[in-house]
Amino acid sequence: MIQEILTYIIVFSATAYAVYKTVLFLTNANNNSCSGCGGQCSIKQELAQKKNIV
């Protein structure tokens, strides 16, 4: 029973995370700045740095 509950929690959390990331990704896709490559490009770092300065 506990195993089942934990499994459901993990699976739903993962799904929610995936949906959240997809929405975030699509929002970013439209603001013409970040492609959402997961930090592989330097732009993400640049944005983070800009944020720090502001």
Q: Which stretches of the chain bind another protein, using CB under 8 A?
A: 2-4, 6-7, 10-11, 14-15, 17-18, 21, 25, 28-29, 32-33, 35-43, 45-46, 49-50, 52-53
> Could you give the 3-state DSSP secondary structure of residue 12?
helix
In angstroms, give the least distance from the CB of 31 to another protein: 9
* Shortest spacing between CB 17 and another protein, in angstroms: 5
CA distances for 45 relative to 4, 5, 19, 24, angstroms: 40, 38, 23, 17
Residue written as tokens 């929002």?
Answer: 27
